[in-house]
Chain A
């Protein structure tokens, strides 16, 4: 029975592995139940995991945000380096270094070393998007990370069980809505405590003195499975490139994906230099975890993911480029950029694994309404909506697809409860989908007015994504529609408030702010689309007769 390095046979390993994932999920559930901010409880923008004492990943939750989990080992190793010989029972670490963590200050990690008596045996860790981290109100104009909020290098939040009041006071003084933020941090600390207790109980039950060998065993198994998947792919270098929205104009992104034996090398050659402002720069850590996530989605969605499964994946981008920016570049909106870049990566993957090919997708779009009630109280609420998924072999895209974020959309009735707004339309826009043999998912159309009888101004914050370049089509499919907006029927110009700062104000009940959220790209030649599929879309009003003539008949 003890022929395996850890002293556990495959039968025990099955139970132990599933328990480790369950412990991570229990931590996740604990945070979800006890956190205060909607970005955690509703948008689910957080993740949890377990690590060995050397920082090696033991397990990540089945439910948490994948990119968060993938970044945890980097953070744990930084703690080991920085605090060598100074890690004690009762310590809890906090950190949000975007170059170590996951790319912007908003994502804060709380990491608790686990002790069996005086012996450091593991880490339990959580990362969560905070309700606020301070800094400028609009990310659009910031030049450096200094303007984006509080930067926390890995620091002790608790030392030997003693609360670091200075840290808490600093945070309280520097973030908006400090009660939410501090409450959520406490929820994370509490979840770690639960995870640590259960991990120790598991170690006792299976007589494990440490979990390094176990981590190596589990990682080894995921790694071997991943290598097997890659080995089945044809060797070669696969390239894709295209324009994606930049600051004022689109930028060119190239992806080179090389399959060599059982390894994959992804590079972003000639990636454009850092943006001088606007928060769309991406740290190398985040480029790497985001690329890992895309590869796992496309090639191995059902593999147990951990640090092992990413060993055969090597991701690089030129230092100083927008995809491997240097300190102190602004990084607050890094996800809006990677979301668009991801379509180019998927297009490269499509060549390696045509069965998993999908045209580009429209992106998540938020329109925020804010202002003051007659009582003077401040309100703010985001109308979240997804773009269309791209078409794929044998299947049209679906509309309202939020990717790579795991967020949910906002119900109109909820939005209107919070903001004095009348949403007069939210539905698919006919003819918006990228045409193809299998068309993209529909783009949605949203119109906002002020609620009659509410005489105060209402602010709108809107930064369009995919306004310059639509989701790419694939194999002859057309690109998806552009995200776009009009104010009282007129397009938004670059020199208007909305065009420049992403801010506007509704002053009159006659003002109408109308926007479109980008659709998915088409897959395959539109002329090859089945006649009955075109007729069905006509019958359902998803394409108009003119649209059908234009897109589907020569």
Chain B
């Protein structure tokens, strides 16, 4: 991909549920941040107005913007709020209820009354077609055109505007789906069509069908939205490149995104992880744990070798927000984010056993924490942070929202009375309990990747992350924490550094010892061609495209798959040994043991086509003047009492400055808490580098 010249500008826009964040970066790494309210009825309106304001404030021309990268919650929201297009599913006869049967696994062992989300396609729009392909791709019965037409006529009569096609074993042979797709496209040009063999040609009929219907469901909405964005941008005189952030942490041309809109599903959080990856890379830290704590949830993500961990499947629209298995699975390569019900708005309460609990219920933005003064009465994490001196009531969101300390004190004192604790002890406990929750969830995530937390660097951002990061790090035995600039707009920044990349996967299950390498070679070539085509749509020349081939494998019997590199060049019998060795070394790293004779199976073959990462620097100067703007009393967890902490203005902390804790660093969107004994250095990218003392636990 091209690099933006020093005078050229790049802009990242992240549309979230509440705020739309914008970041403008010039070639010297100088960052301008802007935050506007999201306009849910027409998200493009708010984003475009915000872009206009951002450019105007800095005196920039829209024509100077050479690159615009966009992430959005549009896809997720369409699925959660059920605002997508009425969709029909053509499925193999005899399997009409795949979407409703799911995997049948209860996500809560004690809840007899648990519920699942409604399927995106109701039963009367799930229409069987007499056809069958076997496990090896043999066609037993081809679909009949007349029957397909009858089914589609029925779907249209029942209001369908989009059609998903998902037949058994279509990953092994897409012919039947392609035949049906042709019939629909030819006969019904106004319908949108999604084939499961295009969107997710992998084994497992429930997950594949779920992905296919979700894509069909959001496609008309996404296409209309992106067409409007492009039109409007063109009208303002924008003539740069316009890319979309994908769930995988890569970016793609709009044309590519429109082809598989479901890939946009978690684009915002993926962009946040991309930003953390950038910060880690710039500082030379590896691995990095991205820690993004906002108002209702915290998200953690492990980043190894500069790339966030990517999984093959994610879940959306959960019936229980934090229960794995309660939502709709999507086979979309996605940055692996662990979501924890812990945020600034998390409510503290006394449970039936007389114990303090914090979250996962959140006061959200409305009524919000008690100290917002918007009617919230319950004590939240933000209230505790205010009482503990971590937040300045007159400098919250840069002073835009004045916090009511009295209301926070009252809420916490009343909770404390029920526990028999002072308000101060209660506030410290709320802070401690929420940190415990986040630390344990982060620990599980690290364990799954077999990382000793003590070897990891934390990168903290989000509205609440910087106030909690040091304490979470201590609990995990993490010795170093990085605080990037612009904690409130990190996703928008991340989208700017995401490499253009697109992954295709296909199931071809086989034992490694019994692999038909010629056929695998064909499949990998086909996947690589599709990847190259996607990058060409973003004007990447072929000689710049890197092709990465991988296999998802496991030991026969185990369910956890490991992604292993497949060697470049022609494949043959000798490839099996190479792949086996690669598997063994990763397996040993993950599980600290390995049987070299193990019977290995490959499930999916994957190819990622990607362009080189953009080189980005951050920094480019600070406001002059004295950074230390005063001091205030803050609760020290280490000392168990209030201590005097120096307060610094983040925007005046120049590279090379160093100071010790206890201290507080304030920026507009977040407050960094530096504990006693901690030592901070500002690096050349203006990140705060916090080193924690002591023997890690």
Contact = CB atoms under 8 A, between A and B. Distances in A.
B558 A400 contact: no
B224 interface: no
Interface stretch (A48-56, A253-261, A444-452, A471-479): A444-452
Contacts of B437: 18
B167 to A, nearest CB: 11
A72 B355 CA distance: 25
B356 A26 contact: no
A116 interface: no
Contacts of A167: none
A222 B437 CA distance: 20
26 contacts: A10-B419, A11-B426, A15-B429, A15-B433, A29-B447, A36-B555, A201-B697, A205-B697, A222-B353, A224-B353, A224-B354, A296-B110, A399-B100, A399-B101, A400-B101, A400-B102, A401-B104, A401-B106, A402-B105, A403-B106, A407-B105, A411-B205, A416-B135, A427-B94, A428-B96, A451-B134
Contacts of A428: 96-97, 100
The 7 closest A-B pairs by CB, nearest first: A11-B429, A425-B94, A221-B353, A408-B105, A409-B104, A301-B110, A540-B123
Contacts of B357: 14
Contacts of B103: 408-409, 411
Contacts of A356: 112
Contacts of A65: 109
Interface in A122-179: none
Contacts of A302: 110, 352
Q: Which of A9, A14, A422, A452 has the most CB of B within 10 A?
A: A14
B433 A14 contact: yes
A455 interface: no
B176 to A, nearest CB: 14
A225 interface: yes
Nearest to A403: B106
A537 to B, nearest CB: 10
Contact of B140 (A14, A452, A540): A452
Contacts of B590: 33
Interface in A266-301: 296-298, 301
Contact of B205 (A22, A296, A413): A413
A250 interface: no
Contacts of B560: 33, 41
Contacts of A315: none
Interface in B79-105: 94-97, 100-105
B104 A427 contact: no
B115 interface: yes
A17 interface: yes
B557 A38 contact: yes
A416 B95 CA distance: 14
Interface of B: 94-97, 100-106, 108-113, 115-116, 122-124, 132, 134-135, 140, 168-169, 203-206, 352-357, 419-421, 425-426, 428-429, 432-433, 436-437, 440, 443-444, 447-448, 509, 555, 557-560, 590-591, 697
Nearest to B354: A221
A356 B111 CA distance: 11
Interface string A531-544: 00000000111100
A480 interface: no
Interface residues of A, number: 84
A334 to B, nearest CB: 19
Contacts of B432: 11, 14-15
Interface in A34-86: 34-38, 41-42, 44, 63, 65-66
A385 interface: yes
Contacts of B134: 416, 422, 451-452
A71 to B, nearest CB: 15
Given A222-B353, A427-B96, A386 B104 contact: yes
A13 B443 CA distance: 20
Given A33-B560, A205-B697, A412 B444 contact: no
B591 A10 contact: no
A65 B110 CA distance: 10
Given A406-B106, A417-B203, 16 more contacts: A9-B425, A10-B429, A11-B425, A18-B437, A22-B444, A33-B590, A65-B109, A225-B352, A297-B110, A400-B104, A402-B106, A412-B205, A414-B204, A416-B134, A416-B169, A451-B134
A221 B421 contact: no
Nearest to B440: A22
Contact of A42 (B135, B203, B421, B559): B559
B315 to A, nearest CB: 14
A402 B103 CA distance: 10
A296 B557 CA distance: 34
Contact of B356 (A14, A444, A451): A14
Q: Is the interface of A mostly helix, strand, loop or mixed?
A: mixed
A541 B123 contact: yes
B497 to A, nearest CB: 32
Contacts of B140: 422, 452
B591 A33 contact: yes
A544 to B, nearest CB: 14
Nearest to A402: B104
A426 B95 CA distance: 6
Given A400-B100, A422-B134, A540-B124, A10 B697 contact: no
B102 to A, nearest CB: 7
A424 interface: yes
A524 interface: no
A507 interface: no
Contacts of A38: 557, 559
Interface in A236-251: none
Contact of A413 (B104, B203, B444): B203
A386 B114 CA distance: 15
A530 interface: no
A12 B428 CA distance: 10
B116 A14 contact: no
A471 to B, nearest CB: 14
Interface string A456-498: 0000000000000000000000000000000000000000000
Given A22-B440, A426-B101, A541 B124 contact: yes
A473 to B, nearest CB: 17
A358 B113 CA distance: 9
A255 B440 CA distance: 42
A471 B140 CA distance: 38
A302 B108 CA distance: 10
A509 to B, nearest CB: 11
A141 B539 CA distance: 70
Given A416-B135, A542-B123, A395 B205 contact: no
B558 A41 contact: yes
Contacts of B115: 398
Interface string A208-239: 00000000000001101100110000000000
Contact of B94 (A12, A35, A424): A424
Contacts of A402: 104-106
A194 to B, nearest CB: 9
A297 to B, nearest CB: 5
A205 B132 CA distance: 62
Contacts of B97: 399, 426-428, 442, 444
Contacts of A205: 697
Contacts of B204: 411, 413-414
A311 interface: no
A426 B697 CA distance: 52
Given A10-B356, A417-B509, A30 B426 contact: no
B73 to A, nearest CB: 29
B555 A9 contact: no
A542 B97 CA distance: 11
Contacts of A301: 108, 110-112
A358 B168 contact: no
A346 to B, nearest CB: 8
Contacts of B206: 411
A402 B112 CA distance: 11
Nearest to B112: A297
